[in-house]
Amino acid sequence: MGDQMSTFTEIIDRTGKDSIAADVASAIAGGSLGPTDAVVREGFDPIPMWVADMSFATAPCVSRALRERIDHPCFGYFEVPQRYYDAIIAWHEHRNGVHGMRPEHIAYENGVLGGVASSLAVLCSRGDKVLVHAPTYVGFTKTLKNAGYDLVASRLVPDEDGVWRMDFDDMERKIVENNIHAAIFCSPHNPTGRVWERWEIEHAMEIFRIHDVYVVSDEIWSDLLLDGHVHIPTQSVSEDACNRTVALYTPSKTFNLAGLVGSYRVVYNDWLRARLDKEESLSHYNSQNVLSMHALLGAYSDEGMAWVDELTCVLSENARIAYEFFSALPGVSVARPQGTYMLFVDCSGWCRGHDVSIDDVLRSGVEVGVLWQDGRPFGGEATIRMNLALPTSRLHEALHRLDEHVFS
């Protein structure tokens, strides 16, 4: 326990270690943090809170599995062992109550977005319209547009308690008006942090059944559940949902392994699985990496489960601290995340009340070393996306700087 908790309190300097999050100059120049003329002022060390990876070391069981494989000096062609599939099946059974998953239902994906692109290539023609929810993960937007699809966004709406909800009437109307037959479903939802309840997924999937819409369900955040919330796999809500859904997973978000690239899909429909196998064979690039395979084997273990439980306790506390800070600011609207480690902050009222732009707010934060992300590409004219997966001491420091220099 002590060693694991130190993982979440240690401040790690990632500068010069290939980290996108720590590359301040590139983040500013690329516009991810808002104004490209922003400069971190002298005396303020950068606190990365933008790109969606963690400032925590990965789980010891993952590092150990990688070291053990690296100690063997040969890295030639390899076979995927049965225990790889067994580990995935056991993980989903223990974490999500999934039964009936078999090895043939599982296939490697070279990243979740690669899986999205391959799935849509099977389900759509170029120029087809695809339903997404807004705010929308910018990776979906870029991938779909690059592949030649048109996005149709159904906006999530906060209820009277500030909880983001799907607008089912709007979804159905847009499906019918745009002749849509494919949708991307993000569960838990990025960037809002919403963990969908079973009835919500059932309602959405019934709409998709009625209008014959196939679903690509991005469940990359499914392990990162806060304050006791429960993930409901999209494929689990009905037999029809099981057969019309491509579900995409990876340990990379959970265990901070994005740099190793190793995702997988779960598809129960034989026809759909055969079409995906064929589509992905055409590129000749969608092949497993031996190190990412062993990273998954280390992660999807009893020790990995215990580590994730500790991680989600830390993330839940960070989410509480950040939510309480922002919800107390006049003119700032924020929903407490139920999953993921992202916070989506709407500063519209603050900007109007103080006669400033969202660029002014973003720039002021960057100037004092708070590297937060421009939320406008996700949806919303004056929004910010913030990564809360950092030591709590650093979160307190970031919020102190914002209180003193930005929202004063």
**C-alpha dist (Å) from residue 195 to 37, 191, 231:** 36, 11, 7
pLDDT value at residue 2: 46
Within 287-338, residue ranges assigned H as helices are: 290-299, 302-327
Residues 185 and 101 in one domain: yes
Residue 390, domain member (yes or no):
yes
CA distance 257 to 255: 6
What average pLDDT is seen over the chain?
96
Residue 62, domain member (yes or no):
no
pLDDT value at residue 284: 83
CA distance 113 to 139: 7
Global pTM?
0.96
Per the structure block, which two tokens stand in for 361? 């707010």
| Helix (H/G/I), strand (E/B), else coil: 149 | coil
pLDDT value at residue 1: 45
Given a cut of 50, the residues of the chain with pLDDT beneath it are 1-2
| Helix (H/G/I), strand (E/B), else coil: 48 | strand
Residues 34 and 128 in one domain: no
Residue 67, domain member (yes or no):
no
Contact 371/50 with Cβ under 8 angstroms? Answer: yes
Q: At what angle do helices 82-96 and 290-299 cross, to 10 degrees?
A: 40
Residue 396, domain member (yes or no):
yes
Residues 133 and 254 in one domain: yes
Residues 81 and 173 in one domain: yes
pLDDT value at residue 380: 85
pLDDT value at residue 283: 84
Point out which residues pair with 183 in neighbouring strands: 131, 215
The total of structural domains in the chain comes to 2
Torsion angles phi and psi, residue 391, rounded to 5: -55, 140
Closest CA to 347 of 296, 283, 402, 277: 402
pLDDT value at residue 106: 98
Domain extent, residue 238, equals 75-300
Residue 66, domain member (yes or no):
no
Residues 287 and 320 in one domain: no
Last residue of a domain, one of 300, 328, 362: 300
User: Which secondary-structure segment (H or E) carries 245?
Assistant: strand 245-249
Contact 22/14 with Cβ under 8 angstroms? Answer: yes
Closest CA to 346 of 332, 356, 360, 358: 332
Residues 271 and 255 in one domain: yes
CATH at 28: 3.90.1150.10
Residue 63, domain member (yes or no):
no
pLDDT value at residue 5: 54
Residues 259 and 244 in one domain: yes
